[in-house]
Amino acid sequence: MRAYPACVPCLVNQGLNAVRRLNLGPEKEKEIALRAVKFLSQFDALDRSPAYYAYFIQRIVKEIAGTEDPFREQKEIANRKALELLPKVEKMVSGDEDLEKAVRISALGNYIDFAIRGELEIEKDIMALAGESFVVWDYERLKEKLQKAKSVFIIGDNAGEIVFDKPLVRVLKEMGIEVVYGVKGKPILNDATLEDAEKVSMTKLCKVIDNGSDKVGTWLEDCSKEFLDHFYRSDVVISKGQANFETLSSADRDIFFLLVAKCDPIAKETGGEVRRFILRFKE
């Protein structure tokens, strides 16, 4: 996926949100805004994914903040809150099958994304969306693929959200499928790392690997051999979130993308709608 003009202010706002959460003051906010705009203005065309540009802006944020993990505190809050909410969510979300219910819960977790939205009202957001339907629903294709699958590779997205992927992992394992869960190799934005997987006990449910990268989304050219082996050799790949869609939508393999569209460009690219759930199969 290539970036849209509408991605530009969002990319700048991501940088601003990071600086604001560190309470670095108006001068640092001004610095990140100007440096982000300067960085983006050097490109004659937006011919790369939004995640590509986001990564370099977040590197500027880390430099200004003097820390490699500006969202650490927010990630910890999101993980704790999600663990508290999961039992309530499991009672609220319905599905004709355990798998369907688990997919819906996993998608619901994708709305936990304060890096984009700049706020952290997890419970309010989750409960407001718990009854929403999918606007793109390739569930029958997923069931068909899983009936023949021996292995599934789930590419995780955000801290907090990772908790809502646990029911899906459990259901897949109950189906006799080997599950491997992928996370970031180093902190970037609010993306889940191995540390987050350990804190929410995902590592006790299934094998968790990191991709060896700190890039926004999943840049296959920057991922570890172990990650690439699972990506290409697993029978089914389930990719969570927007940035992973942005970077993997042209990958040379079939993928199920599971996310909430949070902006018009993603809604257009996925065939979905803003604030609606999407399970899209790409061959």
Predicted confidence (pLDDT) per residue in 79-96, tens digit: 998 899 999 999 989 888
Write b or e for each residue in 70-99: b if 16 or more Cβ atoms lie within 10 A of its Cβ, otherwise e: bbeebbebbbebbeebbeebeeebeeeeeb
* Residue 118 reports pLDDT greater than 70: no
Length of the chain: 283
Distance of CA 181 to the CA centre of its chain: 13
Place of tokens 């990268």: 213
Q: What is the pLDDT at residue 117?
A: 54
Per the DSSP assignment, residues forming a β-bridge with 281 are: 256
Q: What is the pLDDT at residue 73?
A: 86
Check if the beta carbon of residue 259 is closer than 8 Å to that of residue 249: no
* Arithmetic mean of pLDDT over the chain: 93
Burial class (CB in 10 A: 0-12, 13-18, 19+), 154: buried
Higher confidence at residue 174 or residue 111? 174
Beta-carbon contacts of residue 255 (< 8 Å; ≥ 6 apart) = 237, 238, 239, 248, 281, 282
* Residue 121 reports pLDDT greater than 70: no
Q: Sorting pLDDT into bands at 50, 70 and 90, what band is 120?
A: low
Dist. CA 239–CA 236, nearest whole Å: 10
Element housing 256 (H / E): strand 255-260
Higher confidence at residue 20 or residue 219? 219
Tens of pLDDT, residues 249-262 = 999 999 999 999 98
What is the maximal distance between C-alpha atoms in the chain? 57
* Residue 139 reports pLDDT greater than 80: yes
**275, two tokens:** 């604030």
User: Domain map of the chain by residue range?
Assistant: 7-65, 72-282
Place of tokens 């993990």: 69
Topology (CATH) of 72-282 = Rossmann fold (3.40.50)
